[in-house]
Structure 1
């Protein structure tokens, strides 16, 4: 019965994310001017989609490989960030493969495009908040961690009874042993996300008429949304797991300090917040803008 409950919960969360994705798509109806040659934009859309799917497939394969490496729990912890990095690489490949302006007559628009013009405000701020919480939480758990019985630093939480007669060591505790690989992967995902967003902003326009510009802006905004969602999943899913594991350790240490139970419930609150954020980002990945000619 053990694996049944997590699997059922995962399916339920996927269904909720799919429903939310439909609602998001319906609320993002974009009107663009009619007319213009949109053939290059259709090629761009196709290349972006296939590149993202290829990145997702590569990310799934790498994620399965990493999760099969237990590493005392580090493999499953890094599976989600590795999946997100695969999706980011696919998005970058699609942006690099986007067709450039062609034809006997070419033009260039005198405009300044910035990342904030395309990044989704709420999702980007949420990703920043999740990153801050993750760094702070891993900093605290690393400072309070102790070595295990084999001398591996940062794997256990050691506490002593108030009278000093009993010492309890419980784990796994998300100390430095787990923190450094997770922070390294998240730093890689952040830098890669910044690179992809830079490419999204800087690539040339395939057309300069009003319709082409409008559709191109929708494509850029969607790419930036995919990047933000992929990075958000890289942070949210491991944060939820780390918070749950740390809360379980604190509950087991409740006989040694009165503050551990409230702290454990606080960590469960963080886990719920991170899981809800993961659902939002998954829905963002599944949703697509609806383009209509005005």
Structure 2
């Protein structure tokens, strides 16, 4: 039942992402007239690699999905997708043959990662990560051994006259693999953002700084979006599982009252995850610089000066 709900959510999210991703107008970026072909080649190279990353990520995610009948594989599937996409993104940024600044008039300044992050999406994904970690810690603290002797798979309580338990519960059985995978995901995302900020300038001139910033911002948006997908999907599943298990436990005799509070918190987390997943997926589909046009303002100014003379 839980797997079917997750698949349905994923399908609806992809549909929403397709609508939002392709319906939103593309940004127009002005490049120096003599560098339009170079910029388009750079953006085309990165887009091709991102397509490879999407395909590879889907393959790895699909493989992980069925790797564990107890649900750890499906929990880690989106993280595997995100890692594959991020690694390919790093390769794309490092192997772009036109990203070589050799002219002395290239913009010389120390670029910061924060200069290129999509502000709203970054805040949303960051909040998503915080909530995911908080729920995993809650799962660790409250978990008990299930009836098969597996640690961290049940939510149990005791009373003077007995007690009870419900499951599955995301305790150590699920939380430690997820926390480890999340740490790796964030580390690779940090490396990818550093590469984006520090790589050579595509158009080696002061006039090309605007379009170069657009290329970097698009790449950074792709990194943040992939991280959002990799963390929002497991948070959605985690929230749904915690809500259902805590709800079943709350109906048991003598169950603690805070179980009902967990249901509301977990449902809120799942809702946040759905919003993040949809927006991140839409951003992932649109992680390109935009429509590149030639900036011929300098040429027009020279023509006007020549005509006036």
Same fold (TM over 0.5): yes
When residues 62 and 2 of structure 1 are mapped into structure 2, their CA distance, relative to the original with a 3 A threshold, is closer
Distance in 2 between residues matched to 1:40 and 1:281, nearest whole Å = 29
Is 1:185 aligned to residue 181 of structure 2? yes
When residues 277 and 197 of structure 1 are mapped into structure 2, their CA distance, relative to the original with a 3 A threshold, is same
Aligned positions of 1:14-25 closer than 5 A: 14-23=14-23, 25=24
Distance in 2 between residues matched to 1:56 and 1:281, nearest whole Å = 13
- Give the equivalent residue in structure 2 for 1:87: 85
Aligned length: 289
Unmatched 5+ residue regions in structure 2? 296-309
Superposed CA RMSD in Å reads: 2.3
- Give the equivalent residue in structure 2 for 1:200: 196
Kept in 2: contact 1:32–1:211 (CA 8 A): no
Distance in 1 between residues matched to 2:294 and 2:19, nearest whole Å = 26
Kept in 2: contact 1:101–1:204 (CA 8 A): yes
Deviations 1:117-148 (A, max 9, x none): 10111111112111111111111110110112
Distance in 2 between residues matched to 1:109 and 1:33, nearest whole Å = 14
Kept in 1: contact 2:13–2:277 (CA 8 A): no
Distance in 2 between residues matched to 1:200 and 1:53, nearest whole Å = 18
Is 1:272 aligned to residue 268 of structure 2? no
Is 1:242 aligned to residue 209 of structure 2? no
Kept in 1: contact 2:32–2:208 (CA 8 A): no
Unmatched 5+ residue regions in structure 1? none
Offset, 1:213: 2.5
Distance in 2 between residues matched to 1:216 and 1:182, nearest whole Å = 36
- Give the equivalent residue in structure 2 for 1:259: 258
When residues 290 and 38 of structure 1 are mapped into structure 2, their CA distance, relative to the original with a 3 A threshold, is closer
Offset, 1:207: 2.2
Q: 2:172 aligns with which of 173, 176, 183?
A: 176
Q: 1:127 aligns with which of 122, 125, 128?
A: 125
- Could you state the TM-score of these two structures normalised by the residue count of structure 1? 0.90
- Give the equivalent residue in structure 2 for 1:156: 154
